[in-house]
Structure 1
Amino acid sequence: MKKFLKITLSVVLGLIAFIALYLMAAFGLSKIAVEAEPAPAQTIEIYILTNGVHTDVVVPIKNDQIDWSKEVKFENTVSKDTTAKLIAFGWGDKGFYLNTPTWADLKFSTAFKAAFALSTSAIHATYHKQLVESSSCKKIAISEEQYARLITYIQNSFQKDANGHVINIKTNANYGETDAFYEANRRYNLFYTCNTWANNALKACGQRACLWTPMDKPIFAKY
């Protein structure tokens, strides 16, 4: 019995120590800024957008460099509306996206699988006609060369089929009439969250970002 209690105490103390170290790292490393690189001719406007928990990266649907709608098709949305000008990309745990429409629907099994990389991931793509800057929506101007890097980063986040096309997830779990889900690479975990993905997207195109963060607020604090 004493041996069992010692083991239990060690596990509990270890868990507490892990949580404390994780929170310290999340707070400390998110305060350290990666500065934006200088770039001439910053002619392309992108956005970062948060719902208070999760960060999306928003880009033009079409310009001379890429037409996202050729792969991330309007027809995969409920509305099939082709008049949108912007598309938001968010990466995250597939279970969260498809099985947790509200926090009230969150199950322990979903959270546990997400935290410890036991689930697969998905990209949530949402079309927007326009965005208005606010505390939860920040506009960033980047160059064509920087956008080329961001394009590569986003494209590499999609899982592709044998023919190199993105894989639409057929589901009724859409958040609205202008969004769709796609299979994604990597697995969500405590150290690589939806916000880590978005923060890394900013790094990929040479913009101000956190050294590392699992949260959205430190990203927006930089803007």
Structure 2
Amino acid sequence: MPAANKDFIWTDKIPYSNTLEADGTYHYLAVGWGDRKFYLETPAFSDLKLTTALKAITGLSTSAIHATYYQYLREDENCKKVMISHDQYQQLIQYITNSFQVDSSGHFIKVNTNIHYDKGDAFYEAKGSYSIFKTCNTWTNAALKSCGQRSCLWTIFDTGILEKYN
């Protein structure tokens, strides 16, 4: 998504200052929802602990939003450009913002961590819990559905979604 445009200024909710180096030259924002412990304790699949996996698939842990700013985006097999209308973007904004936990002032709650996957990312507390039935991919699929885009009936894997945009 654009980091800021006339419809929504993501940088007001997800400040560049919460990242290691992102600044006004980073024009795009990607967000993903997932298991909080997995995000923060599993930098690579080889680091996955059985206890983390079991808590995640059973829905016994909390969730987080991973927000990453990019200077440029390159469309490829895992990054697809989707053009949407103003009204559809408003619906998508609503879906995404409703996924964040907020403090008493309505601000997104940043996860207190030094973990970063990239110089332009940060983690935020999210609503809901990850499970085998509600994964990062079902969240993404629901985001696409929320704004009338091509989506799957249901999917726990990304392949179903990506196939819709080949």
Smaller-chain TM-score bracket: over 0.9
Counterpart in 1 of 2:89? Answer: 147
Give the fraction of aligned pairs with identical amino acids, expressed as a percent: 53
Match of residue 97, structure 1, among 23, 27, 39:
39
Counterpart in 1 of 2:9? Answer: 67
Separation in 2, partners of 1:132, 1:162: 38
Instruction: Indicate conservation of the 8 Å contact 1:114/1:189, yes or no.
Output: yes
Instruction: Indicate conservation of the 8 Å contact 1:91/1:184, yes or no.
Output: yes
Structure whose CA Rg is larger: 1
Q: Secondary structure at the match of 2:80?
A: strand
Instruction: Indicate conservation of the 8 Å contact 1:101/1:173, yes or no.
Output: no
**TM-score normalised per structure 2:** 0.97
Task: Find out whether 1:176 has 2:132 as its counterpart.
Answer: no
Quote the offset at 1:71 in angstroms.
1.1
Task: Find out whether 1:185 has 2:127 as its counterpart.
Answer: yes
For 2:94, give the aligned amino acid.
T
For 1:99, give the aligned amino acid.
E
Separation in 1, partners of 2:87, 2:34: 26
The runs of at least 4 aligned residues of structure 1 exceeding 2 Å deviation read none
Quote the offset at 1:136 in angstroms.
1.1
Moved more, 165-174 or 150-159: 165-174
Q: Secondary structure at the match of 1:209?
A: coil
Separation in 2, partners of 1:100, 1:173: 10
Separation in 1, partners of 2:44, 2:129: 21
Separation in 2, partners of 1:102, 1:206: 33
Number of residue pairs aligned between Structure 1 and Structure 2? 165
RMSD: 0.7
Structure with greater strand share of residues: 1
Counterpart in 1 of 2:62? Answer: 120
For 2:141, give the aligned amino acid.
N
Separation in 2, partners of 1:78, 1:133: 25
**TM-score normalised per structure 1:** 0.73
Instruction: Indicate conservation of the 8 Å contact 2:138/2:154, yes or no.
Output: yes
Counterpart in 1 of 2:48? Answer: 106
Separation in 2, partners of 1:176, 1:131: 15
Structure with greater helix share of residues: 1
Quote the offset at 1:118 in angstroms.
0.7
Gaps of 5+ in 1: 1-58
Quote the offset at 1:146 in angstroms.
0.3
1:20-31 paired onto structure 2 within 5 Å: none
Q: Secondary structure at the match of 2:113?
A: coil
For 2:123, give the aligned amino acid.
F
Separation in 2, partners of 1:142, 1:112: 37
Separation in 1, partners of 2:44, 2:23: 25
Gaps of 5+ in 2: none
Moved more, 91-100 or 80-89: 80-89
For 1:169, give the aligned amino acid.
V
Task: Find out whether 1:163 has 2:95 as its counterpart.
Answer: no
Match of residue 194, structure 1, among 119, 136, 145:
136
Separation in 2, partners of 1:82, 1:190: 38
Instruction: Indicate conservation of the 8 Å contact 2:27/2:72, yes or no.
Output: yes
